[in-house]
Structure 1
């Protein structure tokens, strides 16, 4: 499997596309610039099967409806944030000068940690709250990657001063969930460059004090 990173929107939120050799793919966090993302998928003959949201902050959901409608695919989100999609106060867009950014209700609600199979793709769904109460990370063992949203960044961690955030919870999520993955697992961060679990164990100043 291969992946592609597309930073989108004013906050350069990373959307990710994980695809197999047949061109089937999963789209993670289509945060903005829906037309650009759709054009990219069609240009590269990629066929989305689903949209997986790591969480429902406005900069991760802005293009959800455009992409969902273009390909008639389901959207997945954790139950703790299912109401955030339609509420600009909950998802934060009202507070950051972005206008009201909303999306229709998700098609599939994640209620617990589980194995999620979509077509030929298999993910371990990890509940990783702290940045937000419904943050989840999707680990694909076959590809050796984890899509962590805004939980863990290269040499940093997600902010915890937004609704439902908790630094204590965030650190526990990283240490008890993400840091149990193999060291060579590539971390697909919600902003900025990719990193690895092993690198962050050794060098992340927020986790190695």
Structure 2
């Protein structure tokens, strides 16, 4: 069984990930459009849906996943401000996120365990106020959402964002991880902490 599986969904090509658990189950991280179709095809019902943040492209299928009986974990509760729907509509892209309920708010937490899968949490705001990374220390995996990308970072000019805050969080909370840690971002291919510290175009360690 692969430790991590990736799905790319929606018009922004947003990544969702399935992490396997020691008990044989799966934890889903993020839910872009068509995630439920992917899960149904794979015949997988996740034990939980973890959100790296709530921007619309990462939560388009969150309500549908919740309807499968899957609890949602997020740093903050649901809000239209966090999904950034109104901003996107101003850009001429009419879309609506079906509202969902966050069953477990993670604000203030530093660890999370689900069926033997232990994850370290780091709040790294700057792209979005509720951005959080999930670190599987045992397997050397970090799901970074839109904080750190392969060769770049998430944008810091959206409401509630700050590129300065984001870069500081990356240096303090991601670049301090072992260099071989493999980083799985919200968009694009995976990378490693060492690679980004050495050659990231926005923030180097």
Report runs of 4+ in structure 1 exceeding 3 Å deviation.
20-23
TM-score (normalised: structure 1)? 0.90
Gapped runs of 5+ residues in structure 1?
none
Q: Which of the residues 75, 87, 98 maps onto 2:72?
A: 75
Residues matched between the structures, number: 200
Alpha-carbon distance in structure 1 between the residues aligned to 2:59 and 2:28: 12
Alpha-carbon distance in structure 2 between the residues aligned to 1:2 and 1:149: 18
Alpha-carbon distance in structure 1 between the residues aligned to 2:67 and 2:82: 23
Cα distance 1:40–1:7, how it changes in 2: closer, same or farther (>3 A)? same
Q: What is the alpha-carbon root mean square deviation over aligned residues? A: 1.7
Q: Which residue of 2 aligns with 1:48?
A: 46
Alpha-carbon distance in structure 2 between the residues aligned to 1:114 and 1:22: 22
Deviations along 1:93-140, one digit per CA (max 9) or x if unpaired, are: 233314111331200001214111111111001011110111000101
The reply to whether residue 122 of structure 1 matches residue 114 of structure 2 is no
| CA contact 1:130–1:166 (8 Å) conserved in 2 | yes
Q: Which residue of 1 aligns with 2:3?
A: 2
Cα offset for 1:2? 1.0
Q: Which of the residues 137, 153, 164 maps onto 1:168?
A: 164
Cα offset for 1:21? 6.3
Superposed counterparts of 1:185-196, under 5 Å: 185-196=181-192
| CA contact 2:29–2:51 (8 Å) conserved in 1 | yes
| CA contact 2:16–2:35 (8 Å) conserved in 1 | no
Q: Which residue of 2 aligns with 1:94?
A: 86
Cα offset for 1:202? 0.5
Q: What secondary structure is seen at the aligned counterpart in 2 of 1:180?
A: coil
The reply to whether residue 179 of structure 1 matches residue 175 of structure 2 is yes
Cα offset for 1:69? 1.6
| CA contact 2:22–2:116 (8 Å) conserved in 1 | no
Alpha-carbon distance in structure 2 between the residues aligned to 1:135 and 1:26: 18
The reply to whether residue 59 of structure 1 matches residue 51 of structure 2 is no
Gapped runs of 5+ residues in structure 2?
none
Cα offset for 1:48? 1.1
| CA contact 1:17–1:25 (8 Å) conserved in 2 | yes
| CA contact 1:5–1:17 (8 Å) conserved in 2 | yes
Alpha-carbon distance in structure 1 between the residues aligned to 2:112 and 2:74: 12
Alpha-carbon distance in structure 2 between the residues aligned to 1:13 and 1:34: 10
Cα offset for 1:49? 0.8
